[in-house]
Structure 1
Amino acid sequence: MEIKRVGIYCRVSTKDQSVETQMLELRRYSGLRGWQITSEHSDEGWSGTKDVRPGLDAIMQMARQGEFDALLVWKQDRLARSLPHFFQVFNELKAVGIAFVSYKEGVNTADEDNPYSRFYMKMMASFAELEREMILERTQSGRQRVIDVFEQTGKIDTKSGVWFGRPRLAVDDVIQEYAERFRNGQVKLAEVAAAAGCSKPTACRRLKAFHKSPQTMGLFPDEAGVGI
């Protein structure tokens, strides 16, 4: 990929600093390589931990519109401090065919002959794969925890706020509908569970809870009547 046009992005964390030093250096660097500067954007007094910044948003919008071939920054951390945010920006640039150039690190993703750039790209790909695997592991762990809590208590895990399977309200509605018929021996526990779309132990727990509620006290002659 040949770079002809570049967009420059600079950032400093405090308002008593200036992006002018970075900007002058990047202009000089672009001139030495014959790159045309089509846009310059900066954020003064903005932390790199902030994902949303006026200057960054503007330069990324121009990247999406194909206004330049490469995004040039003074240093990688001027673009993003956190690795997840950097991946987000880096992958978005890659998706629209824009190269990433970091002056201080000597990275130019358009230069496939540069061994450091090749190493950098492989490192970024490895970090991205590691992040995906960690997210998947956390998701699976959280899902299993929700399922375990539900199977043990019949309750949603309010810490995660995630619900898998049939909604609790739907189960309770069916239990309420079948409670008196179950008490009278008109239906079996297995039939109640099948209608509610839950296991027999869960149906048993919900019938017991319904039996103990003040609104239905006395509906069942004794707790043993709710046994499996």
Structure 2
Amino acid sequence: MKIGYARVSTHEENLDDQIKALKEAGCEEVFTDKVSSIKAERPGLEEALNFMREGDKFIVWRLDRLARSLKELITLVDNLKKRLVLFESLSEKIDTASSDGGLIFHIFGAMAEFERNLIRERTQAGLKAARARGRLGGRPHMPEDKINTAITLYHSNPDMPIADICRASGVSRATLYRYLKAKK
């Protein structure tokens, strides 16, 4: 069975052209979403993925209608492959049923891995340069006098609410509890 998925980013946009293209491609079922790709929750996509069975073909009008990133796209198509579901994108003319389509997805996978490696290298280089300039990174350390004030208030005023202790000392509740636990 051919199953289609169409998505537009806003309620003002129209799904008609995508649905028409999917129906012309032979889709018997078409699932839709009117939601930005930034949103992780796409109920129509989830419904389509749950509906599919082994041997089905999942068809989208364009790749950008399906995934927010290359990594997400590759993960989704890999999951389809594991379930023995084929994938096709009409606009990009990618069909995993053909050897050409499989090759293109392997190339996409290699490019995504390359991109992840570049990002990791750039991040490491940036951190190294920051350290060379004297920046250590991470969360700033809480001054000892604030912590000592909070701990003193906690022990000397057992009836004082924690919120008041935190407000008076400038220490967050989580930080106070962390230091109290460490002192035990």
TM-score category by the smaller chain? 0.5 to 0.7
Match of 2:104 among 99, 106, 120: 120
Q: Number of paired residues?
A: 136
Q: Matched residues, percent identical?
A: 30
> CA shift at 1:67, angstroms?
6.1
Is the Cα–Cα contact under 8 Å of residues 6 and 61 in structure 2 kept in the other structure?
yes
Distance in 2 between residues matched to 1:135 and 1:93, nearest whole Å = 27
1:86 maps to 73
Report the aligned-residue RMSD: 3.1
- Using structure 1 for the length normalisation, give the TM-score: 0.49
Q: Measured at CA, do residues 96 and 134 of structure 1 come closer, stay the same or move farther in structure 2, by a change above 3 Å?
A: farther
Task: For 2:54 and 2:91, locate their aligned partners in 1 and report how far apart those are by CA, in whole Å.
Answer: 24
- Equivalent position to 2:19, from 14, 20, 23: 23
Q: Please report the TM-score for the alignment, with normalisation by the length of structure 2.
A: 0.59
TM-aligned CA distance change 1:20 to 1:67, over 3 Å: farther
The corresponding residue for 1:13 is: 9
- In the alignment, the residues of structure 1 paired with residue 79 and residue 36 of structure 2 have an alpha-carbon distance, to the nearest angstrom, of 21
Unmatched runs of 5 consecutive residues or more in structure 1: 31-35, 149-155, 160-228
The match for 1:219 is none
Inter-CA distance 132–20: structure 2 relative to 1 (3 Å threshold)? same
The reply on whether 1:106 has 2:93 as its aligned counterpart is: yes
Runs of 4+ residues over 6 Å off in structure 1? none
Tell me the SS of whatever aligns to 1:130. helix
Matches within 5 A, 1:7-156: 7-30=3-26, 37=28, 39-44=29-34, 46-63=35-52, 66=53, 69-112=56-99, 115=100, 117-131=101-115, 133-134=117-118, 141=124
Q: Secondary structure at the match of 2:38?
A: coil
Deviations 1:44-80 (A, max 9, x none): 2x112323211111112223xx265211001111112
Q: Which runs of 5+ in 2 are unaligned?
A: 132-136, 141-184
CA distance in 2, matches of 1:103, 1:22: 10
Larger radius of gyration: 1
